[in-house]
Structure 1
Amino acid sequence: MKLSTYKNENAFLSLFVLGVVLFFISCNKQDEWLDVKKNNSDVVPTDLQDFRALLSYDFIMNYGYPFLGIESSDNLYITEATWNSTAPLERNIYVWARDIYAGQADPNWNALYQKVAYANAVIDGLKKVAITPSNEIEYNNIKGSALFFRAYAFYTLSSFWAKPYDANTANTDLGIPLKLTSDVAEKVHRNSNEEVYNRIIDDVKEAVSLLPTTQHHKTWPSKPGALGFLARVYLSMRKYDEAGEHADAALGIYNFLYDFNTINSSVQYPFPDFWTDNKEVLFYAEDYFARFNVAPRLVVDSNLLKSYNSNDLRRVLFFFTSSGNITFQGTYAGGNISPFEGIGTNELYLIRAEAFARMGNKDAAIADLNTLMLKRWKNNGTWLPFTATDANDALNKILTERRKELPFTGQLRWTDLRRLNREPQFAVTLTRVIGGQTYTLPPNDPRYVFPIPDDEIRLLGIEQNPR
């Protein structure tokens, strides 16, 4: 377990985290945790220092995001031996099984609602704290952080357990349950996708207005990080004008890109992590450890590998050979094997470039792509700027480089598949072969929406997703 980035843990943190948090982890139910909180007034956070400590417990707030999107996408390949050695849940996810849980609980769902519970405890608790001239900046920072963390969890939940956002059907499409308070008596139900995405956007917009431009730690949300998150959300909603607008706003505050010619390719994990200040990272989070996200079990898809030019430094810095297989090492988690789940400037350049292309501005789109790619190419005289005959040509090139730039960044390939499958020119059928059996996932298949865990269906009485 990593140490928290919050260095001044006090008596509250020790009591609250070691007692209530460990109980919550053991029972894996948000309401049970909240019930313990309600009945243990001596460990309820009450002041700004308490709330900051709670949100700074990065083992809960920043780590443990799902590996589901990587397991389910076409960037990953695992051998039959690896598949047979993994847990049933991971095996079922990899082949897009209709029943992935087999009656078991899902730690991914529980971990995300645990983040929601922490954020709600802070948001509700802040209502009892008086704002004064001396505490207003910290109060706003904490509130903005809590809103951001809650929205980040809601968005991640929606990326798996709800349909992709569709403006034509969002009012009737079932979304995730929105748990918005720490009140254990609050009744929850499946909100519509429109309600869920409106809540995410409203919360993050409020967070943008409250958060500072820079933070002491990259595990704490900042204004450009929140703007970048909004750009990601709007992109997934296929609202490209808004995506480009917010990516541009974030890059207007901070736009650093590494020149990959300066990165040491002789070490296994070449990129600095947030502890040593990875300068492309705006907000740091990471996925949980999964058995086959480790070399040599994680094998990179051969078609993805073939798409890199020999002068593209990402081919050298992102991948290495382990036990005869090509696997991934380019995580912005540094030497940590868990995939980076946060937000970086590289993603925002690609969002803005795609938005320009979608709006018909091929020159601005290609300019953004070239800004990024110049930093990724060998400094050996082979660089030739990208060109495009029209906006659609620019879009195709941007989407190709997006996949190559962000192959194992959190859920991005999965959410891209979900949104791009709506466009016939970009729709793809995914295929796996295990033990001589072929598994497929066609575009827009119901299995692009995960089933809600069986125990949650029983507990909450909510409707299941069709598979």
Structure 2
Amino acid sequence: MIQRINKIRSAGDHGLPALIKQLNLQILPLLMSLGMVGCTDFVEVEPPKDTLVAETVFDEASTVRSAMANLFFGMREQGMVSGSFGLTTALGIYADELDYYGFEVQNTEFYQHNLLAGNELVRQWWANGYELIYGANDIIRGVEESQSLSEEEKALFTGQALIVRSYIHSLLAQLFGDVPYITTVDYQANNTVSRSPEAEVFEAIITDLERSVALLEGMENPSSERTIPDQYATKALLARMYLYVGDWANAEAMASELIGAFDLEDDLERVFLKDSGETIWQLKPGEAPRNTQEANRLIIQAVPGQTYALTESFMDSFEEGDLREAFWTESISNADNTLTLFYAHKYKADFSQTESMEYSIVLRLAEQYLIRAEARALLGNLSGAASDLNTLRNRAGLPDIPIGTQGELSEAVLQERRMELFTERGHRWFDLKRFGEASAVLEGIKPGWQDTDLLLPVPETEMEINPNLLPQNAGY
């Protein structure tokens, strides 16, 4: 496994706060739990009441659960996973899913493909990502050194922290390419960290996830609402990573295990409800009543007044009779009906609700069918690949596709992923990259498109502080 670390910064400061430096970064999870209002509601765990030193945080399972809760809070509210400026909207406008009508410079640069290395959104993603990774590493360290936690508790918390560390690294690597892979909280080494090749980062992620599976295997999920990752969440991400590195056989096997353990919802209206049977891992919104960030950002309540809308090319890509168009999109017109816009309506966001009916889904079963279909196609199991695609197509009211050739099935996989996973944390952009289709699709609709846009720029502030992060990605 790669042993890398990186300097962690808060979103509002390019260096670590002096207090944390003085304490040698030993109590970050505790500081987070004391400073983030509403985060404990996520897992119904009370935060520590007193100012504790790091060792006492790991004396009891309840305080470790509180530290874990703050990792999920950070994912949910503060960065690229599910925050107000997360991947869903930014990569939706970077690709061909969403049009942008707002005036924020950082978003306009994404939409027009004129990103600068000083883009504030990019900087926030990098900083928040490594803050989360640092928090996960501190929990892993503290749990390992604890003298009071049981071996089962140690395995549970380590396995959960490992999937957070793996998931965030996977997003960073897909966005920036070569990135530091961080597994410690050593501040001194932090000052001179360098970037690891993307392929090595992916292999390190797989190593972490395989360890997490071994630790969590057979344990019951502590959350009946699947708001805490368990062995199934780890396996779902592992199936994705096997696919990304070309390990088709393991991708197929892991996806098959998930498909055997969960059931697709027959009713498309139920897929994104908080009690959906096909949800593998989801993030609970903060203090109720509250809608998901996806609903708050994507639903258009008035025209004019919209910020994002589904592109015409996306809406035109629906086949006639596709129920996903009817159930997962909606339209709204201006007062004189001269302009009609469509928006993603997977999350319905009843703004008068007294209880949150939807949580923000991180991993769901439909992706596993798509992973297995792609892996099977590349393994030469063409009938199996077509069968998996047809499972999702039939649920959407569409007829079977013919088995066809391997190339035809690969094209069908990309199209089915587009229609099934739209506006879900950048899947479309990542797929265009993986399939080598980004230039062909975007150069005609994005005037600023360049082939170097496949990677985002490493934030310039990071490289100024640590020159070992150089060289900058090409094109910036």
Return the TM-score normalized by structure 2.
0.76
Which AA in structure 2 matches 1:72? Answer: Y
Query: Out of 339, 344, 348, which is 1:328 matched to?
Result: 344
Listed as ranges, the matches of 1:360-439 within 5 Å are 360-377=380-397, 384-421=399-436, 428-431=440-443, 439=447
> Cα distance 1:223–1:235, how it changes in 2: closer, same or farther (>3 A)?
same
For 2:264, the equivalent position in structure 1 comes to 257
> Cα distance 1:243–1:427, how it changes in 2: closer, same or farther (>3 A)?
farther
> Shift of the alpha carbon at 1:397?
2.0
> Shift of the alpha carbon at 1:204?
0.7
Listed as ranges, the matches of 1:117-266 within 5 Å are 117-130=134-147, 135-162=150-177, 175-187=178-190, 188-211=193-216, 212=219, 214-216=221-223, 217-252=225-260, 254-260=261-267, 263=269
> Cα distance 1:31–1:125, how it changes in 2: closer, same or farther (>3 A)?
farther
More deviation in 314-323 or 237-246?
237-246
Q: Report if aligned partners of 2:94, 2:429 keep a CA contact under 8 Å in 1.
A: yes
Q: Report if aligned partners of 1:178, 1:190 keep a CA contact under 8 Å in 2.
A: yes
> Shift of the alpha carbon at 1:205?
0.7
Deviation sequence 1:288-327 (CA, Å, 0-9, x none): 6799645232211222212223322100111101232001
Q: Report if aligned partners of 2:262, 2:277 keep a CA contact under 8 Å in 1.
A: no
Deviation sequence 1:347-397 (CA, Å, 0-9, x none): 0001101111111111111111222222221xxxxx533222333333222
Partner secondary structure for residue 185 of structure 1: helix
For 1:60, the equivalent position in structure 2 comes to 74
Which AA in structure 2 matches 1:447? Answer: D
For 2:24, the equivalent position in structure 1 comes to 38
Q: Distance in 2 between matches of 1:465 and 1:375?
A: 42
> Cα distance 1:181–1:221, how it changes in 2: closer, same or farther (>3 A)?
same
Which AA in structure 2 matches 1:160? Answer: L
Q: Distance in 2 between matches of 1:332 and 1:235?
A: 31
Partner secondary structure for residue 186 of structure 1: helix
Partner secondary structure for residue 276 of structure 2: coil
Q: Report if aligned partners of 2:118, 2:461 keep a CA contact under 8 Å in 1.
A: no
More deviation in 205-214 or 343-352?
205-214
Q: Report if aligned partners of 1:213, 1:224 keep a CA contact under 8 Å in 2.
A: no
Query: Out of 366, 375, 378, which is 1:355 matched to?
Result: 375
> Shift of the alpha carbon at 1:405?
0.3
Return the TM-score normalized by structure 1.
0.77
Instruction: Kindly indicate whether residue 13 of structure 2 is the aligned counterpart of residue 27 of structure 1.
Output: yes
Unpaired runs of 5+ in structure 2?
A: 1-8, 28-51, 285-291, 301-305, 334-339
For 1:112, the equivalent position in structure 2 comes to 129
> Shift of the alpha carbon at 1:280?
1.6
Q: Distance in 1 between matches of 2:267 and 2:294?
A: 27
> Shift of the alpha carbon at 1:34?
4.9
Q: Report if aligned partners of 1:231, 1:244 keep a CA contact under 8 Å in 2.
A: yes
Q: Distance in 2 between matches of 1:108 and 1:338?
A: 25
For 2:455, the equivalent position in structure 1 comes to 449
For 1:69, the equivalent position in structure 2 comes to 91
Q: Distance in 2 between matches of 1:255 and 1:350?
A: 15
Q: Percent same amino acid at aligned positions?
A: 23
> Cα distance 1:186–1:343, how it changes in 2: closer, same or farther (>3 A)?
same
Q: Distance in 2 between matches of 1:334 and 1:232?
A: 32
For 2:366, the equivalent position in structure 1 comes to 346
For 2:466, the equivalent position in structure 1 comes to 460
> Shift of the alpha carbon at 1:228?
0.9
Partner secondary structure for residue 130 of structure 2: helix
> Cα distance 1:30–1:390, how it changes in 2: closer, same or farther (>3 A)?
farther
Q: Report if aligned partners of 1:104, 1:454 keep a CA contact under 8 Å in 2.
A: no
More deviation in 146-155 or 388-397?
388-397
> Shift of the alpha carbon at 1:179?
2.3
> Shift of the alpha carbon at 1:332?
9.2
Partner secondary structure for residue 179 of structure 1: coil
> Shift of the alpha carbon at 1:242?
2.9
> Shift of the alpha carbon at 1:30?
5.8
Q: Report if aligned partners of 2:236, 2:254 keep a CA contact under 8 Å in 1.
A: yes
> Shift of the alpha carbon at 1:52?
1.6
Query: Out of 286, 294, 313, which is 1:303 matched to?
Result: 313
Instruction: Kindly indicate whether residue 276 of structure 2 is the aligned counterpart of residue 278 of structure 1.
Output: yes
Aligned residues between the structures: 402
Which AA in structure 1 matches 2:374? Answer: E
> Cα distance 1:95–1:105, how it changes in 2: closer, same or farther (>3 A)?
closer
Which AA in structure 1 matches 2:323? Answer: L
